[in-house]
Structure 1
Amino acid sequence: MTGVAGAALSTPMLNRAWAAEPTVINMLAWYGHAEPDIVGEFEAANNVKFVPKYYAGGDNMLALIAQSPPGTYDLILSDAEFVQQLNAAGYIEQMDASLYPFDDFFPEYQHFPGHWVGDDLWSVMVRYGLLGVSYNTEALTREEAMSYNCFWNEKVKGKVGHFDWHLPNLGQMSLLMGNDKPSPFDISEDAWEAVQEKTMSLKPQVGGYFDYGGTFSSLKNGEMLAMCGIGDWITGVLQKDGAPVASVIPEEGGIQWTESYSIGKGTTKHDIINKFIQYMLSPEGQVKSIEMAAYPGLSPTKSGWKAIQATNPEEAKRSGMLEDSDQNPIKMYQEGRVHIRDIPRQQSLEDWNDFWSEYKTA
């Protein structure tokens, strides 16, 4: 009798323990996307647990997937320019466009390049940001920073840093050389030679090449006074900590980075993944995304703009998400001042990466 009673008492407890086991979502992403400030409330409300694998740079992302067994990642946060490669390699699944609020997206982002193949959807844009000139406001004026030529300014000699990824840096150099049409990443061989020559001329100004953490610390402590290849996604966090830094889109134009969610090939967790993507595109989710502790972003949705204007008007003003802001990202995109970051179109990724390695060791 004692044994039977013990079994009767323990079985419900085992069932409750089993039911409490959260669904694990393996996410491949840039740092910050699976941290508590972003996913904590969703995890608690839906009994899920995000397990992230973080990377920096689309080249690294592709390498991680290639080295992993199929089905390793349920959810992949990708830079938009790499979605086509994820698709071509069979790493992601087609998505149901009817599940997402595309009517709420600004028109410029409803049918985003590379996310669709005809009417077939492969990735959903969740946030974006702008890359321009990032600088120490005690070293350079805003007027000086309004051109990429400021990187050659004597006031920052030896204290110009690079975020160590070839696409954003060389894209900015391409803009400086006047390659804004059709794209700073779609340039002839002659133009590519000129970009390399101009980049090499910056070498005497350069004080280092930095990863994510090093970029933060070197700007924060004044080791670097200007930084190529980044924007408000770095300086926005530092500004909140009181560091004298800022970012602007210079007269030559800026580059837009774009982050989007894709469903990993072979996952069995479609329903909860789609629910999470819907949550992140809701006004509440977009405010979390905009205010992400790791690095801020901009919202592609109209309701996201309204939500941040209502809940955090200072952040809306600081980031340009106001209709009358001179750094309004939608207006700059419409005016042709902002260009979508892309992979090289007339050269290979290896060409650009090989030059970047050569430049760093020159």
Structure 2
Amino acid sequence: MGATAAVAPYSNFAYSDSPRVLNYLAWPGNADPYLIAEFEKAHNVKVRIKEYVGGDQMLALLHQAPPGSFDVVMADAEYMHLLKEADFLQKLNPDDYPLDDYWPEFQEFPLHWFDGDLYSVMTDFGYLGLSYNTEVFRPEEVESYDVMLSDKAKGKVGFFDFYLPSMGCVSLAAGNKTPFDLSLAEFDLLSNKLMSLRGQASGFYTIADIFSSFSNRQATLIPGIGEWITLGLRESGVPVDTIIPNEGGLQWTESMSILKSSPKQDLARKFIQWTTSPKGQALMATKPDNKKSIPSKAGWELLNKTMPDEAELLRMQLNAPNVIDEFRTKKIAYRQLPSNQSIETWNDLWTDFKSA
């Protein structure tokens, strides 16, 4: 997920030092009662969330907050090394968490480990590709990102206003197999491909605007988003779907970490244990306004047993083609921060694209 936005001031957050309150920094909606009510009741605690939108905002909030203000942070995997470098994260004991319940591909997810030590536990993930209006485009028309340059798409290509997923998918469209690890020549390919799309653009959208732009057909194609948006729209009757084009897609990953300065290490650990338990995972997958894939095979098993229709909708059936099969196709690249250019260089290109 993710979008860069103006930093919501830390002072708006009502921090509590009560041992019965867990202070949580996370994406919007992650303190929904659907997800946490059972945890709060079982431990006689309250989860108090400070919401952010975008990894840059999350980092800014942590830098401006007094030490001990937050106990748990949910972050995208690509920001994990920056959190580690800033010394925000508590090293975790892998034995404390049900990693053996996870699919093998995610038991030692590389972006969560540093020098053999674990600092974060994956809670959910999804794939980003090309989302499209199914009444305007047939599936065979969207098998390549090249459809964004078609006459049918002129003035109808929307963009999620977050440089990382949008430029990552355009980088794949430009032929870069490692979309964020680019030489100068490959970065030029990305730049040229991006600028070629300017005349096709319908606008640059926040998450909320993406929903409305698809609903009113202001946009009929949007790269860099995925089923976490189109599933919800389809359930509301909007004719949209997401495909991973032949050039590939991106995996976004959210995970939980304990802040080193937290005075509530035990409560923070219990919260992550709840979220990564089979029940917590099944709830994470099926939150009504934001359905996601989950890394826990035990969570899949519970989902198939208790909510089989949801398991089918989310392509998390154990004996049918599913999202793990898609991961194994090798068409999915991890969403990461740029390797050979600065974040500012990528953001500058994104700003130039929007203002062209």
Task: Give the TM-score normalised by the residue count of structure 2.
Answer: 0.91
1:1-150 equivalence runs, <5 A: 23-150=20-147
Residue 315 of structure 1 and its aligned partner are, at CA, apart by 2.5
Alignment match, 1:248: 243
1:264-275 equivalence runs, <5 A: 264-275=259-270
Structure 1: gaps of 5 or more residues:
1-20
Give yes or no for contact 2:124–2:255 (8 Å, CA) kept in 1: yes
> Which of residues 344, 347, 350 in structure 1 aligns to 2:344?
350
Residue 248 of structure 1 and its aligned partner are, at CA, apart by 1.3
Alignment match, 2:297: 302
Question: Match for 1:135: what amino acid?
Answer: Y
Alignment match, 2:194: 199
Decide whether aligned partners of structure 1 residues 325 and 174 sit closer, same or farther in structure 2, where only a CA change above 3 A counts.
Answer: farther
Deviations 1:134-191 (A, max 9, x none): 11111111121222112222223212111111111111111112222xx211111101
Decide whether aligned partners of structure 1 residues 119 and 350 sit closer, same or farther in structure 2, where only a CA change above 3 A counts.
Answer: same
Alignment match, 2:173: 176
> Which of residues 311, 327, 348 in structure 1 aligns to 2:306?
311
Residue 324 of structure 1 and its aligned partner are, at CA, apart by 5.7
| RMSD after superposition | 1.6
| Distance (Å, rounded) in 2 between the aligned partners of 1:140 and 1:233 | 20
Question: Match for 1:195: what amino acid?
Answer: L
Alignment match, 2:155: 158
Give yes or no for contact 2:19–2:264 (8 Å, CA) kept in 1: no
Larger Rg: 1
Structure 2: gaps of 5 or more residues:
1-17
Residue 325 of structure 1 and its aligned partner are, at CA, apart by 4.9
| Distance (Å, rounded) in 2 between the aligned partners of 1:195 and 1:323 | 38
| Distance (Å, rounded) in 1 between the aligned partners of 2:343 and 2:284 | 29
Residue 256 of structure 1 and its aligned partner are, at CA, apart by 0.3
Question: Is residue 260 from structure 1 mapped to residue 255 from structure 2 by the alignment?
Answer: yes
Question: Match for 1:112: what amino acid?
Answer: F
| Distance (Å, rounded) in 2 between the aligned partners of 1:81 and 1:322 | 28
3-state secondary structure, aligned to 1:235: helix
3-state secondary structure, aligned to 1:265: coil
3-state secondary structure, aligned to 1:70: coil
Task: State the aligned residue count.
Answer: 339
Alignment match, 2:9: none
Task: Give the TM-score normalised by the residue count of structure 1.
Answer: 0.90
Residue 288 of structure 1 and its aligned partner are, at CA, apart by 0.7
Q: Percent identity?
A: 43
| Distance (Å, rounded) in 2 between the aligned partners of 1:312 and 1:178 | 40
Alignment match, 1:284: 279
Deviations 1:190-211 (A, max 9, x none): 0101101111111111111111
Give yes or no for contact 2:67–2:262 (8 Å, CA) kept in 1: no
Question: Match for 1:128: what amino acid?
Answer: F
